[in-house]
Structure 1
Amino acid sequence: MKIEHIAIWTKDLETLKDFYLKYFGATAGEKYINPIKKFESYFLSFNGGCRLELMQMPGIPPSLNDVHAQFSGLIHFAISVGSRQGVDALTEQLRKDGHRIVGEPRTTGDGYYESVVLDPEGNRIEITE
């Protein structure tokens, strides 16, 4: 078995799609639109593995979770960039472009080299080697 995809509700579908395309090399499938439900989504693919579904629909309330605190439920997902240098370079590019870095590059206790960034809507992404 494998995880096929993870989904994120968003208030700004195009901005979030563009973020993952620009910084993580994702490829977007065709936009799906359900005019009756006013639902729109994209599936984003990476170089193999799990896809990311970005979804937008009126009436979805904003998250009340504090993006800097830990809480129950899905808290982050990780994207591997292939090397420590890749982690460092992407972290610096995201910082330069004004995105919030909430975890500086470091080696964790379980041996991962990673940083943590918030996407434009406050979702945590671990950038790993």
Structure 2
Amino acid sequence: MQLAYTCLWVRDLSRMSSFYQSNFQASASERRCELWGAVESTCLLFENGASLKLLQARADQALPAQGSFAVGAGRAADVDRLTEQLAAKGCTILAEPRLSVDGYYESVVTDPEGNPVIITI
């Protein structure tokens, strides 16, 4: 069995889709309505075949709990470079690039809505 996709609830679907496309080289599917119009979504596809589904609830609905996910950058130098680029664009760095306790070289930044994004090799 393999993971099919990861979902992330967002407040601004267009802004978040643009952020992930421009910073993580993802391509986006067309927006669509789900759950009888209560949710809009788009699916971001990454070069390696992984996908991230962004979901936006109607304005009158509460946003579900925050989530996080990891993006593989390739090498340690790529983790460093991407972390620096995102910091220069105003993203908050929650954890500078380092070797994590589970043995991954990674950093943690926030996307525009404050969701943690782990950048790893």
Partner residue in 1 for 2:62: 61
CA contact (8 A) 1:37 1:57 kept: no
Q: Please state whether the residue corresponding to 1:4 is helix, strand or coil.
A: coil
CA deviations 1:13-42 (Å, max 9, x no partner) are 0110011101111110122135x5253210
Q: Please state whether the residue corresponding to 2:40 is helix, strand or coil.
A: strand
Which of 95, 98, 115 is residue 123 of structure 1 equivalent to?
Answer: 115
Normalization by structure 2: what TM-score? 0.88
List alignment gaps of at least 5 residues for structure 1.
66-74
Task: Quote the offset at 1:103 in angstroms.
Answer: 0.4
**Is 1:89 aligned to 2:90, yes or no?**
no
Alpha carbon RMSD of aligned pairs, Å? 2.0
CA contact (8 A) 2:40 2:55 kept: yes
Tell me: CA distance 1:28–1:95, structure 2 relative to 1, closer, same or farther (3 Å).
same
CA deviations 1:62-106 (Å, max 9, x no partner) are 4577xxxxxxxxx52110010111101110011000011100000
Q: 1:81 and 1:9 mapped to 2: Cα distance? A: 23
CA contact (8 A) 2:69 2:116 kept: yes
Runs of 4+ with deviation above 3 angstroms: 62-65
State percent identity of aligned pairs: 40
Q: 1:101 and 1:18 mapped to 2: Cα distance? A: 20
Tell me: CA distance 1:6–1:60, structure 2 relative to 1, closer, same or farther (3 Å).
farther
Which of 92, 102, 105 is residue 100 of structure 1 equivalent to?
Answer: 92
Partner residue in 2 for 1:31: 31
Q: 2:92 and 2:68 mapped to 1: Cα distance? A: 15
Q: 1:21 and 1:64 mapped to 2: Cα distance? A: 23
Q: State the one-letter code of the partner of 1:82.
A: G
Q: 2:26 and 2:112 mapped to 1: Cα distance? A: 16
